[in-house]
């Protein structure tokens, strides 16, 4: 059976956790509807939006039977403005270290109606891509039976042009991740917390799956990651998440040194260091999978000493 025939038979589910995406959501919806290979089901999870996002989701769900609308409460509103109790502070602190989009993602996952899907897609609501995007992605999976996680290259708007975001080839950006069913089951899903979109790939590699993004398959990301927080706060968040994910201190120091010479100069490196140090001093709990941390740290040390790694 040819790879094109296999692709035509692919059964996949898409889940999109979205919040306040009225500006770009319809662009993404139209891109998915135009796909040459459509999903069995697309679950759009409105995570407490305060703009027209919920309205847009409901309208399209009413027009397309395979689009499912899910609405979550805005949990931030559950805390009264004046409530500064220790319990409330703990809840806010916990949320700050959660991957809120993955908490919403799992609410959508619970709504999957078909049991015999082949692939699961986590897709952001601020993306644009060509009509054959998923068809070409699944051709990559058909060519490599050991490919467990894949997706296109993310392009961000820079000075009026679309620039491919530099990432290790094994890394697939969280904005557009495709999981093969067998790999998803092997890694037991993703962590609903810090560093989820790297830890899933590390765990997949640990279990002998391949992970990679696909050069030449471009996805336009209209609102780059971290844009809402600003460069400083985003760097602090990444630093703390690196600590929670169990990064080896030597590897993290090397990462900070490298970022001194990358934009935003000094700010990114200082923010990373502040976030990591805060996690260390506050004894923020790290992920509970010690085997995964051990594998990640061994890979990081091998990279420092120029040995073969998942970075290759």
- CATH number for the domain harbouring residue 214: 3.90.550.10
Is residue 208 domain-shared with residue 251, that is, in the same domain? no
Range of the domain at 156: 3-221
* Same domain membership, residue 237 and residue 207: no
Same domain membership, residue 236 and residue 216: no
In a domain, 48, yes or no: yes
Cβ neighbours, 10 Å, residue 220: 19
pLDDT of 178 > 50? The answer is yes
One domain, residues 56 and 191 = yes
Tell me the percentage of the chain whose pLDDT exceeds 70: 88
On average, the pLDDT of the chain sits at 89
Q: What is the pLDDT, as a whole number, of residue 98?
A: 66
**Span 50-56, average pLDDT:** 97
Structure tokens at 43: 């679950």
Span 107-122, pLDDT tens digits: 999 999 999 999 999 9
Same domain, 259 and 181: no
Q: How many structural domains are present in the chain?
A: 2
Please check whether residues 141 and 62 belong to one and the same domain.
yes
pLDDT value at residue 138? 98
Task: Using CA atoms of 20, 168, 128, 53 in order, give the dihedral in degrees to the nearest 10.
Answer: -10
Residue 203 within a domain: yes
Q: At 120, which helix (H) or strand (E)?
A: strand 119-123
**Domain end (from 183, 203, 221):** 221
CA distance 134 to 38: 8
Say what the pLDDT of residue 223 is: 86
272-293 average pLDDT score: 95
| Residue 172 belongs to some domain of the structure | yes
pLDDT score for 160: 86
Q: Do residues 191 and 252 touch, judged by C-beta distance below 8 A?
A: no
What confidence tier does 5 reach under pLDDT thresholds 50, 70, 90?
low
Q: Say if residue 197 is in the same domain as residue 105.
A: yes
| End position of a domain, from candidates 198, 221, 244 | 221
Tell whether 14 and 147 lie within a shared domain: yes
Count the residues in the chain.
312
Q: Average pLDDT of 271-277?
A: 96
311 lies in a domain?
no
Average pLDDT for 209-215? 96
309 belongs to a structural domain: no
Q: Sorting pLDDT into bands at 50, 70 and 90, what band is 228?
A: low
Q: How far apart are CA 199 and CA 193, in angstroms?
A: 10
112 & 248 share domain: no
Contact (CB, 8 A) for 136 and 213: no
Residues 243, 114 within the same domain:
no
| In a shared domain, residues 252 and 215 | no
pLDDT at 93 over 70: no
Residue 312 lies in a domain: no
Is the pLDDT at 226 greater than 60? The verdict is: no
Same domain, 19 and 152: yes
Task: Name the domain boundary from 221, 254, 275.
Answer: 221
């Amino acid at each position: 059976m040819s790879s094109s025939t296999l692709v035509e038979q692919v059964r996949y589910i898409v889940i999109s956790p979205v919040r306040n995406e009225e500006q770009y959501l319809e662009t993404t919806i139209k891109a998915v509807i135009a796909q040459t290979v459509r999903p069995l089901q697309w679950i759009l999870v409105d995570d407490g939006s305060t703009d027209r996002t919920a309205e847009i989701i409901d309208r399209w769900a009413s027009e397309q039977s395979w689009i499912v609308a899910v609405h979550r409460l805005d949990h931030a509103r559950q805390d009264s403005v004046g409530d500064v109790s220790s319990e409330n502070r703990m809840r806010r602190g916990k949320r700050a270290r959660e991957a809120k989009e993955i908490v919403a993602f799992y609410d959508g996952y619970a709504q999957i109606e078909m049991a015999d899907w082949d692939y699961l897609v986590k897709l952001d609501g601020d993306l644009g891509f060509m009509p054959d995007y998923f068809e070409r992605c699944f051709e990559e999976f058909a060519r490599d039976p050991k490919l467990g996680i894949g997706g296109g290259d993310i392009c961000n708007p820079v000075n009026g042009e679309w620039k491919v975001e530099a990432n290790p080839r094994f890394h697939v950006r969280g904005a557009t991740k495709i999981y093969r069913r067998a790999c998803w089951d092997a890694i037991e899903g993703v962590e609903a917390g810090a560093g989820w979109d790297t830890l899933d790939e590390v765990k997949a590699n640990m279990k002998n799956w391949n992970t990679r993004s696909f050069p030449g398959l471009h996805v336009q990301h209209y609102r780059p990651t971290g844009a809402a927080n600003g460069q400083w706060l985003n760097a602090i968040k990444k630093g703390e998440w690196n600590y929670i994910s169990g990064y080896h201190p030597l590897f993290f120091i090397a990462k900070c040194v490298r970022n001194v010479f990358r934009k935003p100069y000094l700010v990114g490196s200082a923010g990373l260091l502040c976030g990591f140090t805060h996690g260390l001093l506050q004894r923020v709990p790290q992920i509970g999978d010690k085997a995964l941390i051990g594998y990640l740290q061994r890979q990081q040390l091998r990279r420092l000493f120029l040995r073969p790694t998942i970075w290759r």
